[in-house]
Structure 1
């Protein structure tokens, strides 16, 4: 046992540089640097998390596109088979008329006059020949249309197949990228948790920021979806930030928005980037409680406006859901109304 323990001590000493010369150990980080590093890492983790949410949304769209393209291809191929069969039937009718004409079935008025031996016979001949002529024109027209339609259907089927194959390839690549991002997110989350444990009480207080005592009476009344959503979000104050969480008692930034509007019967996109792409854009001066505020140039953070210049958001690991001044949540990008 002593030998095993001694071996472990030597291994750890080598791994962590215990055998380095005296004075070679790196100096401990200052509290300010440690907090800055933690904040930076948390920001990167949130960016990765929202990117993953957005990639999952795109992956779902691509899978839907594959399903639609496959259905379209099957339908186009079935239609092509039916049109080919119809074209064969029309070709047979045209061939029969051509053969009949070749064997002596004249289809003109002069021939009718020449072979008629009475006025009534002439009328009968002309009437029959007129019907044959019209039928011939109609058959040729139908055959031409059917042939054109069949060719268009064939092209549509080929195009649909190409699109389906491209969508499948894109979906597979996106899925691989998603897995890589997921692994990176897990690593960052582990690193952040370790750093969080090392923060002092003063650093934790600075990270959380000053608490805001927002009076719920300032919230609008009524049963409009945005009113229900903002009131629902306010009930989550103090809940922890957890990457990828959508409630009911832990959230990431976009997850809080999704959960709050779900209480109002509305489904929001899962990522902050997709939330930027939805709803209706409103100017900062026209924001109302319930509007979403998108932050950062890459739209990697989101909060909900509660009125009077304040926003509720799930900011980062270690900081619970809170109400803060709008500009304390990050650099303003856009506001969206759902």
Structure 2
């Protein structure tokens, strides 16, 4: 049974295993540098629907059902589903899950929701309350743009620090399993809300970086681990500017993660050819990069140990209009590669 260590971390002893994942991405994401790792690439961002919000729900539904199918299970075999998105009242997720016969926990951690859902799904298995749990998140460029920024038709000029919301959904199946070939979750470090006074909604990386730094530092303190214990330390969607801020702040705290550090938002697009400015963002960003690129490298034993730190900016359109600062949150999950049979 898991134990609480340090201030914010739980060590999981039963090794909840990530049995399979599915990544579904939009056309632009499929044209990026990680295209070979994604399971499904859409050629139509509406995905055959008549709205971008419906498209986002359909993308998540596809990711979840494909994950269950790959595991050779049925909906009735899944004990719980943890999921969330960026839309008001989690409609992308709720409308996807209404077609599934699975008990559901809806979550909102902004773009940190992937590690939030992964954390809680892992703890549900660790506690002996479930055998099969799905963790999933989604986002869509067009649905997020018109909720948080401007209608697409407006054609607004984008700030150099702005990020491109990823169209995509990642889904993971966690299982109580003795099959040692699959990666497992070893630690969960829950973040704290941090607000350093950033008010620019076009500079999410700067707003979220302090939360990422705080959680990563606390993970090392709680576990006694250091950067060299990980092959990759991946933040969720800080983009180029947020990644650089995080790297510098951690150096000032005495942690040099530079050689092992990637940011999912900086990896998913080619900034030189795809005009995505500071990089990717959104719940789907860390979801598809982990479910595709990182998980497949763990499964093939190219990676042995990964720290995934999804980051979220906890703002709303109303809070921005009222001049509120932007709080950030980050949750960390350590995933270790399975052993060879």
TM range (shorter): under 0.3
TM-score for both structures, normalised by structure 1: 0.19
Bigger relative contact order (CA 8 A; separation at least 6): 2
Greater strand share, structure number? 2
